[in-house]
Structure 1
């Protein structure tokens, strides 16, 4: 994928990203709640920073490069079932509110970048 200019990303945010992001967040949460459509919901959650500002998609952490790899699948499933499904919804909607306020945009970006981890302890390198 090619790197998008700051101007294009800013225009995307002003025209589309600010209103589309809360919609994507809540659709992803509804998909996660169905369990059957959970993989699609997780995919949408991972794309939230891209929807907001056209940020390039991230890659999974290489355990050798950071010393902190992914948590085991069992731990991630238990976390998601008891905490991740509801905390991610709350986290993402608070972040969406911050994004709409413009002043809170840096906080929103920080929160959206951590959304996959809040949802299922899923780590990215960026």
Structure 2
């Protein structure tokens, strides 16, 4: 799918993205601390770049996504011990930086790495 124009993405950010991103981040984090709702929380985390700037979700194929990934067991242990609280701090710092012109580039970089910070998940492609 084609990326939306920079103008559309900028308007989205100014009208919605800057205030909706912290809401989505904190809902995702609340879902992640539950066992049953964590998969929905992870999906929301993967949508944070879209909520912030309408960045298209990354596409990947199963073989490409599997390359270079830590095992599910390692990722689960990381999430339980570190990922759930580190992603909360990381995402909220990114949301705070996003409301400043100087911090916006750093915020975009941070939200693009949020899946890795949360569960060591690496996007490819």
With the length of structure 1 as denominator, give the TM-score of the two structures.
0.92
Number of aligned residue pairs = 123
User: Does 2:90 correspond to 1:95?
Assistant: no
User: Does 2:24 correspond to 1:21?
Assistant: no
Residue 12 (structure 1) aligns with? 12
* Contact map agreement 1:60 1:123 (CA 8 A) in 2: no
* Contact map agreement 2:65 2:124 (CA 8 A) in 1: no
Once the two structures are superposed, residues 78-125 of structure 1 have per-residue CA deviations (whole angstroms, 9 ceiling, x without a partner) of 000000000000000000000011210000000000000000000112
Residue 122 (structure 1) aligns with? 121
User: In 1, Cα distance between the equivalents of 2:57 and 2:65?
Assistant: 19
> Which secondary structure does the structure 1 equivalent of 2:57 belong to?
coil
Deviation at 1:2?
3.5
User: In 2, Cα distance between the equivalents of 1:35 and 1:12?
Assistant: 33
Alignment of 1:49-64 (within 5 A): 49-60=49-60, 62=64
Deviation at 1:69?
1.5
Unaligned runs of 5+ in 2: none
Moved over 4 A (4+): none
* Contact map agreement 2:65 2:123 (CA 8 A) in 1: no
User: Does 2:104 correspond to 1:105?
Assistant: yes
> Which secondary structure does the structure 1 equivalent of 2:36 belong to?
coil
Unaligned runs of 5+ in 1: none
With the length of structure 2 as denominator, give the TM-score of the two structures.
0.93
RMSD: 1.5
Residue 32 (structure 2) aligns with? 32
Distance 1:106 1:39, change over 3 A: same
Deviation at 1:70?
1.0
